[in-house]
Structure 1
Amino acid sequence: MIEAARLTKRYGDVLAVDDLSFTVSPGRVTGFLGPNGAGKSTTMRMILGVDAPSEGHVEIDGRPYRELDHPLRTVGALLDASARHPGRTARDHLRWLAATNDLPVKRVDEVLAMVGLTSVAKKRAGQYSLGMLQRLGIAGALLGDPRVLLFDEPVNGLDPEGIAWIRQLMHALAAEGRTIFVSSHLLPEMAQTAQDLVVIGKGKLIYQGTTEEFIARATDNAVRVRSPHLPELREALTARGANFREEGGALLVSDMDSDAIGELAFRAGATLHELSPARGSLETAFLQLTGEAVEYHATEATR
């Protein structure tokens, strides 16, 4: 379990993390989301003792990271896949990590096999692709068979097979009762991976709870309507005073049920090809609920 209490980090006049409290529970994959500059990387660095909080504290299984006797046996982390000596082979890199925490050498070969790098274990890390470096970083995180795992952008550089693999791996590890905390900007992938979410913006907590509840919170119970007679349907809905918007060639009607829309379409002579509840998405929910916390806004392109 990870428990952060009133976590705050200042860099001079910049408040990177602002009175942030959350809990990451075991047995679940928890996604860590936020716009660029929200403070996610800073928070993960404070969890791992790389940066000291200005205020507040964070504990892993009831203890600060700096008090862990053999950290790799308690928490494994992948924060930067490129943080490897380019002249070392993958196997030597992992053997060095194992030696720092009194781990058996046989564990090195076990994790290399788990991440699919056995055939290139004697190849220097400087010759690895980004996807291979990600797998090596994941192997390092798994080395101590830890109860808690932190991953920052773990699918970066992975091909579709690799993305599916890391998703299945995280689910399997969580099913064993481990605590999995993962940050990613790939929202469609996070929707398939994370059961719970911690969402922050400008260093503050925006949401903590299940992924399903987060999506439902931003869904307006709209009805999706597709028709080859959209002009007639728009006119009828406007005359009715209905609230609707167009999206992907369909109308999303937010204040009428399916029966009322069907009757209205019939009277307007509009054939319907679809009349169904609109499904929310993690991306839509994220954009709606973090819009005011975006620090860097692009201007509209002009010709």
Structure 2
Amino acid sequence: MSRTGVEAERRAGWLFSAPALLAIALFFVLPTIASLALSLTDFDIYALADIRNLRFVGLDNYAALLADPLFWTALGNTLWFVVLGVPLVIAISLAAAILVNERMVAWRPVWRVVFFAPYVATLVAAAVVWKYLLHTRYGLVNYALDTLGLQPVDWLGDPRWAIPAITLFVVWKSFGYAMLIFLAALQTVPRELDEAARIDGAGWWARLRHVTLPAIAPATGLVAILTIVAMFQLFAEPYVMTEGGPAQSTVTVLYLMFEEGFQWWNLGTGAAVAVVLFVCILAAALLPALAMRLLHVRRT
């Protein structure tokens, strides 16, 4: 192909990509830059009334944020959601994908719909239903425990149980999407490898460990990254189910940003929380990518 043809293809590529790039710039890049700039000011409800009240404060918002015990509480709660939720989502979604991918399982399309249905359910409505299911006196969960002779648990009113209870709801709500990713990956695994391992005498666990899991490692990394990002962005679940309680035990970083920005109208501080959250998400999401890269280098 001539140089003129290459230049024409390049221009056509930029032309077709322009609408998407423009949308990314308008709705992602510019708001990010604006949030960073806003975090360096004392923009609050008074500045909303009169822009002359706006002052540049530099890193004062970040210094005040790092000195705020509530921020560290929110960060610790968020990390608990990540530590508890990410392994559960990966394990349950992978198990569900393996189940619906088995040729011997009957009604596989029905199982796919059943597993994926929670993901498409309305978040707030599902959270309200789970809130009643976990009710201390009238919830079905404690009714089942009472039937078994166990004491009822204050799932959403006890700081020891609030995060695990919300995590279970989040896992139930989100594992269906991860299941589809694993299912697509499993269908790309050559069946010849599995049959060869079966002929060699490998059992189900050995085939899963040495054939299936290495083949779907990129999908596992993708699910891990997506789940980490989602766990760092938890807001609606604790807002609806516990309103950040009890004793601020379910306040997340995003919940703190909402309170600072839209409840107390400290928009500069809220923007600083958003920037810190972005840095945390970026760092946490890079860890699985780095681990996959090191694993690939070791294999090659």
TM range, smaller chain: under 0.3
If the length of structure 2 is used for normalisation, what is the TM-score? 0.24
Which structure features the higher share of strand residues?
1
